[in-house]
Amino acid sequence: MRKYNSSYPLAWRFMDALEAVFAKIWPKGGGKYTPYLMLTPAIILVGTLAVGLLYIGDSSLRTLDRSTFLFSEDYSLENYRRMLSETFTFTIIWRSLLGAMIVTIVTLILAFPYAYVMVRTSNTLLRKFLLIALFLPFFIGQVVRAYGWLIILGSQGILNDALGLVGIEPIRLLFNYPAVLFGLVQYMLPFGVLMLAPAMTAIPEEVEAAAGSLGANWVKTLWYVILPMAKPGLIGAGLVVLTLSLTDFAMPAILGGGSQDFIANAIYDQFFRTSDQGFGSALTIFLIAIGSMLVGVIFMVFGAGTLALGSDKK
């Protein structure tokens, strides 16, 4: 078929020109610098975070003059001394650490059977239902879910209304520590399942069948076969849930009603309510330090689990 110049659209010629220019800038195959160029967005993001942390570290060494509301020009450790001397900081730190550990343990206990059934079930309908139930909370958002629990668990909420039908007086189910932990478990459960599911998938079903053929019942198979082989997933899920729970803001603020603050809530108060950015920065640095130490201890004792990306041989 005869070709005419007019049959080749102008837009295509423009794209050919762009392709030629791009081929000169970026050779075919990408060249040896391609991996480094692909890392550029991540490096910029991490670099921006590092600059922000340096600014926070600088602010933590400056004290606020309450008479002028200006920060001192000189550096000092006054904010850290104040943080370690005031009782409320120890209360908040202990509440945050204890809550994060409780939420992590309960989440793993609930996430393990969920992930196991989702991976092992042969019922396609059940697997789809479990997947939908797992991913649906991500489309709702944490704040919306927290307000949903206000509607359900409030003094005039659905649960207390149902209890009233059988003659039970309204029970205070919100604005206390258990309510915060309950909300955090419900929020963290999908993260735990998502971290555990790949580890459960990697366990061959033949191994469980072999354990049964050797006389092991289901409990022994679970304890001596499945749990040890799922250890990387349990460690990875535990690390993710622990760090997210320790730094959470919304659940303590909404379900705690301001009386069950975690460290993140105290940092928010210092930055936006009292305008003491120096003390808030000191709390931020302490939160980063304590979170890093917890992760480091877990790495040393249990290994990095699935977060090691195959390099952990434990």
pLDDT in tens, the chain (314 residues): 445 455 667 778 888 888 888 777 666 655 666 777 778 888 999 999 999 999 999 999 999 887 777 888 889 999 999 998 988 889 999 999 999 999 999 999 999 999 999 999 989 999 999 999 999 888 888 889 888 898 888 888 888 888 888 888 888 889 999 999 999 999 999 999 999 999 999 888 889 889 888 888 888 998 999 999 999 899 989 999 999 999 999 999 999 988 889 999 999 999 998 888 999 999 999 999 999 998 888 888 887 666 665 554 44
pLDDT of residue 314: 45
> In order of start, what are the domains of the chain with their CATH numbers?
5-42 (no CATH), 82-308 (1.10.3720.10)
Residue type, 59: S
If we measure between CA atoms, which residue out of 185, 172, 177, 184 comes closest to residue 258? 177
Angle made by CA atoms 223, 228, 229, in degrees to the nearest 5: 120
- Torsion (CA) 182, 185, 188, 191 in degrees, nearest 10: -150
Q: Report the predicted TM-score, pTM, of the whole model to 2 decimal places.
A: 0.82
pLDDT of residue 313: 47
pLDDT of residue 132: 92
Contact 277, 271 (CB under 8 A): yes
If we measure between CA atoms, which residue out of 299, 275, 270 comes closest to residue 285? 270
pLDDT digits (tens, 9 = 90+) for 25-45: 666 655 666 777 778 888 999
pLDDT of residue 309: 56
Taking the C-alpha atoms of residue 249 and residue 94, their distance in angstroms, rounded to an integer, is: 16
CA distances from 66 to 69, 278, 311 (A): 5, 12, 52
